[in-house]
Amino acid sequence: MVDTHSMSAGLQALAPGSKPVCMVVDPWDLPYNGTVVSSRRFVEGMCKLGLNFRILSCQLGKGEDLVDEGAGPGISCHGSGRLERYYFPALSLPGVNGIIRSMKVMLGRPDKQLMAQALSGAGLLHVQFPFFLGYSAIAMARKMQLPVICSFHVQPENLLLNLGLNFKWLRELLYKIFIRYIYNRADLVIAPSRFAADQLIKRNLQRPVEVVSNGVPDKFFIPKATPNDSADVADFHILSVGRLSGEKQQSLLIDAIANSRHREKIQLQLVGAGPNEVELNTQITKAGINATVETVSDAELLLRYQLADLFVHCGMIELEGMSVAEAMAASNAVVVSDSEASAAGMFAISESAKFKSGDVNDLTEKLDYWIENPDARIEAGKLNRNFIQGYRHEACIEKLIGLYARFSGEG
């Protein structure tokens, strides 16, 4: 339940007419990963309540081939809040530009003069992307004596897997770099889950940390379409949403479906964008299963959640698992990996809702169980919807507003 008194106190401290929050989200105009999607949702929700924001990001070039449906500014303020944009040039890193672009991401190159202009008169800095633009923004904020909040969204494991450099020593080195140059220079660190907070604390984070979930907007709590209540129905729709990259392990799901005794009736929908799109389509063709790989609009994504019979998330690296929470809000039964490097396991409310990480046979068994037990699947969907009520986005906005008010010195 939202504490309206706390919300009101925070809003009185910050809006209207409050100093703007500067937020660093390098690929703001490319809503293809959880960090960008989450940042947009928070900014849109708080703008509507009257808070003012300045977004520090990269600008898409003319004819930019990263742009698909849904790219672009994306949100507007329908309230008393203001949303301003400060565009920084895109960073070029020879040797890794292709990988970065295949992940639908752009990183900003700092410009001191523009940075000073962006932060001038601001109330605080909130860094969402911990790279060069974020580092530069923190340095400038310290000179201006602005409070700094940093969110922990990017796991080194994500970067290294996509670069083909998943070595333990390198992973720990990246954690040290992030903590030393980003998180330990903040006044407050925000983590999306207790799991995420613990990853930083056990690696010597020295700053206070607060857990604030990315949250599930009300629009995902939609009525469930008439479920398949018989194991004999012709089609069974499995949905998986996430970046098309190695750590999400969509290939494992394809193999599991190919091994299923119900493979002929399964319709798989992989929704997302990323470097593995061609590889996954090739695997689907070779496996001979019924599956699609595509990027969809927000409206279409809502419909996919509504019509799905089962949601499967194989990702082995997650700081929270937004798509799993969204699927649960739509009353879907879910299956997630039990990976020790993932927080998504916290959403598995039964043993049948998780499988052994990387184990295709165990995943196949879980798929067949849910297909053959429609009553259990429908009941699990109801339990999931009830469980995820505690992750409603409105409550997460309330908590973030309170933190802004406290650390901006205006609360």
In this structure, are 238 and 138 located in the same domain? no
Q: Model's pTM, two decimal places?
A: 0.88
The CATH number covering residue 400 comes to 3.40.50.2000
CB 83 within 8 A of CB 108: no
> In this predicted structure, what is the pLDDT of residue 288?
97
Q: Is residue 179 domain-shared with residue 227, that is, in the same domain? A: no
Listed residue (211, 214, 271, 219) closest to 240, CA to CA: 271
Q: Are residues 272 and 287 in the same domain?
A: yes
- Cβ neighbours of residue 334 under 8 Å, at least 6 residues apart? 310, 311, 312, 313, 324, 327, 328, 347, 348, 353, 380, 384
Specify whether 162 is located in the same domain as 276.
Answer: no
Instruction: Report the first-to-last Cα separation within the chain, whole angstroms.
Output: 22
Query: What is the phi/psi pair of residue 52, to 5°?
Result: -110, 140
What is the pLDDT, as a whole number, of residue 408?
83
User: Which of 225, 220, 227, 226 has the alpha carbon at shortest distance from 377?
Assistant: 227
Helix pair 360-372, 250-259: axis angle to 10 deg: 60
Residues 169 and 231 in one domain: no
In this structure, the number of other CB atoms found within 10 A of the CB of residue 399 comes to: 20
Number of neighbouring beta carbons within 10 Å of residue 122: 21
State how far the Cα of 10 lies from the Cα of 14, in Å rounded to an integer.
Answer: 6
CB 50 within 8 A of CB 79: yes
Beta bridge partners of 239: 269, 311
Cα–Cα dist 238/103, whole Å: 24
State the pLDDT at residue 68.
46
Same domain, 251 and 385: yes
Tens-digit pLDDT string for the chain (411 aa) = 445 455 555 555 565 457 999 999 999 999 888 899 999 999 999 999 999 999 999 987 654 555 444 444 555 566 678 999 999 999 887 776 776 776 778 899 999 999 999 999 999 999 999 999 999 999 999 999 999 999 999 888 877 877 777 789 999 999 999 999 999 999 999 999 999 999 999 999 999 999 999 999 999 998 777 666 655 567 999 999 998 988 899 999 999 999 999 999 999 999 998 889 999 999 999 999 999 999 998 899 999 999 999 999 999 999 999 999 999 999 999 999 999 989 999 999 999 999 999 999 999 999 999 999 999 999 999 999 999 999 999 999 999 999 999 998 554
Claim to verify: residue 230 and residue 189 sit in the same structural domain: no
Total number of domains in the chain: 2
Q: Cα separation of 245 and 26, whole Å?
A: 20
**Tell me, what's the pLDDT at 59?**
85
Sequence-ordered strand ranges (E) for 9-111: 21-24, 53-58, 83-88
Show the tokens assigned to 27. 């690929």
Task: Say whether both 175 and 297 belong to one domain.
Answer: no
Q: Do 199 and 255 share a domain, yes or no?
A: no
Shared domain check, 236 and 175: no
Residues 301 and 270 in one domain: yes
Instruction: Let me know: does 220 contact 211? Beta carbons within 8 Å.
Output: no
Beta-carbon contacts of residue 303 (< 8 Å; ≥ 6 apart):
none
pLDDT of residue 77: 61
Cα–Cα distance, 187 to 205 (Å, whole number): 12
Assess whether 164 and 308 both reside in one domain: no
Q: Determine the Cα–Cα distance for residues 105 and 253; give it in Å rounded to an integer.
A: 25
pLDDT score for 41: 95
pLDDT at 253: 98
pLDDT at position 228 is 64
Pairing mode of beta strands 21-24, 124-127: parallel
Its domain, for residue 258, covers 218-389
Tokens, residue 264: 């002929």
